[in-house]
Amino acid sequence: MTRPALMCRNAATGKIGSLSHKCQECGKQATSECLKKGHVAYCSAPKNNKAGFCGIRFNVKSRGGCMEHPYHEGFNREIVKERRAKDPDFKTDYELEMDAKTRAEEKAAAEEVEERLYNTDWSKPQFHAKATPKQKMNNKQGKKQPLAKHIAQLQRCTRASKR
């Protein structure tokens, strides 16, 4: 037995809408069964400077909730919590998008780590040969004296032989 569509747009004023919007979870017209299951709800936020409540119908799984009173401003959170109690796996569209985004970021990070791991050269590094020591400079003008040691030895030998 099919139930009639929820044509009541505003529960506070009793205003009837011209269209029956679709339930986001069922994909069909919103019915009283959707209201019982918690797919669709009426906004319970207080009116601005007036007695009563907003009462506009909205899909609970929607990203923002009621168009005038979004979830991120703290309205209708008890409706979402009640819906989650019925179905613990229930997540709003925003939560699903954020989960997908974090999964994509984690996957990209894992691929980057794996790519870095395989691009690493694990072979033993080759050390360069030790450089030859610099030659001493005997004169103050900065010219190198490559044979200074040998000349000094020859001078010593010649002095010793003269004696």
Percent of the chain having pLDDT more than 90?
8
- Tell me the sheet residues that pair with 125: none
d(CA 31, CA 20): 9
pLDDT one-digit tens code per residue, 76-103? 878 877 777 777 677 777 788 889 999 9
Q: Cα-Cα-Cα-Cα dihedral of 65, 66, 72, 77, to 10°?
A: -70
Phi/psi-derived region of residue 95, left when phi > 0, alpha when psi is between -120 and 50, beta in every other case: alpha
φ and ψ at 113, to 5 degrees?
A: -65, -45
Q: Where do the structural domains in the chain lie, given as residue ranges?
A: 1-90
Is the pTM higher than 0.95? The answer reads: no
